[in-house]
Amino acid sequence: MQDFTIFDMVIVSITILLGLKGLFRGFIKEVFGLIAIIGGIFVASRMAAEIGNVIAPILALENVATIKLIGFVIGLIGFWAIVYVAGIILSKIFAASGLGLFDRILGFLFGAAKIFLIFSVITYALYQVQSFKELMNKKVSDSIVFPFLVETGGFIVKLDASDFVKKVEEKITPKAEEIEEDPDLIKEKTFVQEVKETVNEIKKTTVDSGTVVVDTVKKAVNENVEKMTNKIEETANKTTNEMSETKATKEEAAKMVEEINKGN
């Protein structure tokens, strides 16, 4: 037989007390606060390196792990701050519209549900450990709340996001017959085809232009090399001739010296 045990009292009391935080904060702030944390972790984990590389020169960081850690922390704090401020602004607008009470009631329900779900996941995780399972069956088997915690936690843990994504894809992906019948889809398909053809033409033009440029450069280089080769040959021939003339002059001078010596 199930009774309202001390375990039930503790779980319900903590859930209500922490749910009161949502009552004072309001539904919008609670939701935006949750989005800020989860979204911040998601964004920071994927942009840690990029953010870290921007901050690294300012802080003179060189270690890769440190750069990623700093990038993650700054990304998390930055995203959280932006979403949190947006939540505050939207909450004030909501309150000014006269729906403040409605916002607070939803905030309490959301806050309490959030805490209950956290307890559910923790309870289910502990219940999967054999030693804890035996202890729980012995101590809280008569609890009213405990079965709901285990069942809810199991449902959350076993959720498969891939099934949801598959269903969404099936709904948003049009069939071939629908494409043939829907003129809007036909226009979209034609537009996509035109874009692809334009891209291919740009690629082809770019390649052709690149080939022309390369050929022009090669031709210019060959012409310059040929000119330089001819110039070098001319210089070499000129130098050879000058050397020959110098040699002949030396020979004539030697003969003249020799004749002078004979005359003396």
The model's pLDDT over 210-229, given as tens digits with 9 standing for 90+, comes to 444 445 445 554 565 566 66
For 159-197, give the DSSP string.
--HHHHHHHHHHHHS--HHHHHH-HHHHHHHHHHHHHHH
Could you tell me if 137 and 221 lie in one domain?
no
Length of the chain: 264
**pLDDT value, residue 212:** 45
| Amino acid 188: pLDDT | 55
Domain enclosing residue 153, as ranges: 6-172
Whether 223 and 130 share a structural domain? no
- Are residues 120 and 229 located together in one domain of the fold? no
pLDDT at position 82, please? 92
Which residues have a Cβ under 8 Å from the Cβ of 189 and sit 6 or more positions away? 179
CA distance 64 to 220: 47
Give 74: exposed, middle or buried? Use CB within 10 Å, 0-12, 13-18, 19+.
Answer: middle
Q: Is residue 111 part of a domain?
A: yes
Taking the CA atoms of 21, 24, 30 and 32 in sequence, report the sign of the dihedral they define: negative
What share of residues in the chain are helix, strand, coil (percent, to 5)?
90, 0, 10
Q: Which residues of the chain have pLDDT under 70?
A: 1-2, 159-229, 236, 248, 257, 263-264
Whether 178 is in a domain gets the answer no
How far apart are the C-alpha atoms of 249 and 247, rounded to whole Å?
A: 5
- Contact 6/145 with Cβ under 8 angstroms? no
Asked if residue 24 is part of any domain, the answer here is yes
What is the structure's pLDDT at 206?
A: 45
Domain match, 38 and 100 both: yes
Q: Cβ neighbours of residue 78 under 8 Å, at least 6 residues apart?
A: 40
Pair (91, 34) in one structural domain: yes
Residues 246 and 134 in one domain: no
Q: Is residue 244 part of a domain?
A: yes
| pLDDT confidence of residue 170 | 62
What pTM did the predictor assign? Answer: 0.48
Question: Do residues 68 and 48 lie in contact, with contact meaning Cβ atoms separated by under 8 Å?
Answer: yes
Q: Of 172, 201, 228, which residue sits at a domain end?
A: 172
Q: Note whether 182 and 143 are within 8 A (CB).
A: no
Residues 243 and 137 in one domain: no
Rounded CA-CA distance 87/82 in Å is: 9
* Residue 3: C-alpha distances to residues 6, 7, 141, 143 (Å): 9, 10, 10, 6
